[in-house]
């Protein structure tokens, strides 16, 4: 069996934290050739390139970031062990790493993740944003505990993952008060004809449903903007640049935070949300908490 050399891992961890081999040498009181040699041996034992030199510093590769996360956990636990043996209280926290795709509305992401902070124990939450496929790749290597998404994993990549349904929401249309007033002369949804509209990008699940709904109802709004970031889309709506759609479950938050008004609601334009894990049965306490809260608190309307 090949054993991991923890001296090599320790040197790598310190180098990654310090940002350069030179600063790590000062901290560890070792010569640069010694540390460089140990890092090379760690790369050989893992079979992965862990960092790239950039000037006097270094940048971790994807594999390097994965090794660093595990090393950080290992040596943090080591420090806690020493404190526990001395009879001192430790600050052991439950770690939860959540993948949040770019397309997931930030208000939905917040409402889904927030229950993790209400557990009976201390929790450290790390949120990583990116493309869904990239996040699922990290999920497969156990670098992420759960990916929250409005799209199931099965249709995207060949990652062994399980989609845990959290709930669904209809769609509400919003506008700034001045624009809402100009649209009030016609009933909804006819008022959307020729109205300026800001939409999520074509890659978003909601956009595909929205395009179909507009076509089916013979509605032709004036689409003046497309946004990958739905939070930015709401800021533009706040500045009276157009009508926006958003999940109805965060209707109150959208109105309060951005000062928007409801133009109308479409109950059959549904967006579904999932917690994606590599487990058939969720075991992480924080993921269990957020899943239960989503079903009992968020998606109950």
Q: Looking at 37, 58, 85, which one is the last position of a domain? A: 85
Tokens coding 100: 């949040």
* Confidence check: pLDDT of 35 > 90: no
pLDDT for 255-272, tens place per residue? Answer: 999 999 999 999 989 999
Which pLDDT score, from 0 to 100, does residue 87 have? 64
pLDDT band at 47 (very low <50, low <70, confident <90, very high): confident
CATH number of domain containing 147: 3.40.190.10
Q: Looking at 58, 85, 112, which one is the last position of a domain? A: 85
Question: 154 with 280, same domain?
Answer: yes
Residue 1 lies in a domain: no
CA atoms within 13 A on the CB side of 244: 33
Q: How far is CA 207 from CA 163, 165, 199, 212, 257, in A?
A: 21, 20, 7, 9, 23
Tokens coding 149: 């998404």
pTM exceeds 0.85: no
Report the alpha-carbon distance of residue 107 to residue 119 in Å, rounded.
20
Which pLDDT score, from 0 to 100, does residue 91 have? 62
Which pLDDT score, from 0 to 100, does residue 59 have? 81
pLDDT for 272-284, tens place per residue? Answer: 999 999 888 888 8
Q: What percent of the chain has pLDDT over 70?
A: 93
| Secondary structure of residue 275 in the 3-state scheme | strand
CATH number of domain containing 207: 3.40.190.290
pLDDT band at 16 (very low <50, low <70, confident <90, very high): confident
Q: Looking at 62, 85, 108, which one is the last position of a domain? A: 85
The total number of structural domains in the chain stands at: 3
| Secondary structure of residue 192 in the 3-state scheme | helix
CATH number of domain containing 10: 1.10.10.10
Which pLDDT score, from 0 to 100, does residue 1 have? 38
| Secondary structure of residue 262 in the 3-state scheme | strand
Which pLDDT score, from 0 to 100, does residue 235 have? 96
Cα 5 to its chain centre, rounded Å, is: 33
* Confidence check: pLDDT of 226 > 90: yes
Residue 91 has φ and ψ, to the nearest 5°, of -115, 55
Q: What percent of the chain has pLDDT over 90?
A: 45
Question: Once rounded to an integer, what is the mean pLDDT over residues 54-71?
Answer: 81
Cα 142 to its chain centre, rounded Å, is: 15
Within the chain, residue ranges assigned H as helices are 6-18, 21-28, 32-46, 62-85, 106-113, 132-140, 177-183, 205-216, 230-238, 251-258, 285-293
Which pLDDT score, from 0 to 100, does residue 205 have? 77
pLDDT for 161-196, tens place per residue? Answer: 899 999 999 999 999 999 999 999 999 999 999 999
Which pLDDT score, from 0 to 100, does residue 293 have? 93
User: The domain containing residue 39 runs over which residues?
Assistant: 6-85
According to DSSP, the β-strands at 94-101 and 146-149 are parallel
Question: 25 with 69, same domain?
Answer: yes
DSSP string over 85-151: HTT------EEEEEEEETTS-HHHHHHHHGGGGGSSS-EEEEEEEE-HHHHHHHHHTTS-SEEEESS
pLDDT for 100-123, tens place per residue? Answer: 998 888 999 999 999 999 987 788
Which pLDDT score, from 0 to 100, does residue 6 have? 85
The DSSP symbol for 228 reads S
* Confidence check: pLDDT of 78 > 80: no
Which pLDDT score, from 0 to 100, does residue 79 have? 72
Q: Which residue has the higher pLDDT, 224 or 76?
A: 224
According to DSSP, the β-strands at 261-277 and 162-175 are antiparallel
Cα 294 to its chain centre, rounded Å, is: 16
Which pLDDT score, from 0 to 100, does residue 252 have? 94
Question: 172 with 266, same domain?
Answer: yes
């Amino acid at each position: 069996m090949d054993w991991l050399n923890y001296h090599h891992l320790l040197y790598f961890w310190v180098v990654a934290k310090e940002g350069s081999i030179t600063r790590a040498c000062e901290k560890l009181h070792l010569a640069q050739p010694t540390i460089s040699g140990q890092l090379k041996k760690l790369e050989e034992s893992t079979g992965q390139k862990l960092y790239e030199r950039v000037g006097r510093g270094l940048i971790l590769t994807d594999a390097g970031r994965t090794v660093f996360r595990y090393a950080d956990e290992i040596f943090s636990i080591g420090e806690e062990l020493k404190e526990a043996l001395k009879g001192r209280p430790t600050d052991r926290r439950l770690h939860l790493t959540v993948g949040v795709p770019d397309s997931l509305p930030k208000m939905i992401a917040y409402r889904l993740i927030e229950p993790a902070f209400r557990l009976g124990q201390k929790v450290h939450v790390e949120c990583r944003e990116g493309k869904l496929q990239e996040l699922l790749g990290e999920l497969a290597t156990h670098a992420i505990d759960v990916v929250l998404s409005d799209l199931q994993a099965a249709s995207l990549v060949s990652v062994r993952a399980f989609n845990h349904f959290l709930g669904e929401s209809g769609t509400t249309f919003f506008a700034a008060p001045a624009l809402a007033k100009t649209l009030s002369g016609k009933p909804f949804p006819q008022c959307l004809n020729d109205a300026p509209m800001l939409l999520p990008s074509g890659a978003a699940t909601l956009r595909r449903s929205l395009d179909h709904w507009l076509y089916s109802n013979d509605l032709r709004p004036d689409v003046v903007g497309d946004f990958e970031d739905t939070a930015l889309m709401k800021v533009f709506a706040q500045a009276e640049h157009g009508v926006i759609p958003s999940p109805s479950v965060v209707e109150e938050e959208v109105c309060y935070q951005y000062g928007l008004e409801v133009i109308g609601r479409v109950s059959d334009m549904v967006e579904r949300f999932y917690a994606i894990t590599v487990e058939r049965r969720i075991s992480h306490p924080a993921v269990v908490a957020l899943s239960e809260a989503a079903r009992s608190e968020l998606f109950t309307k």
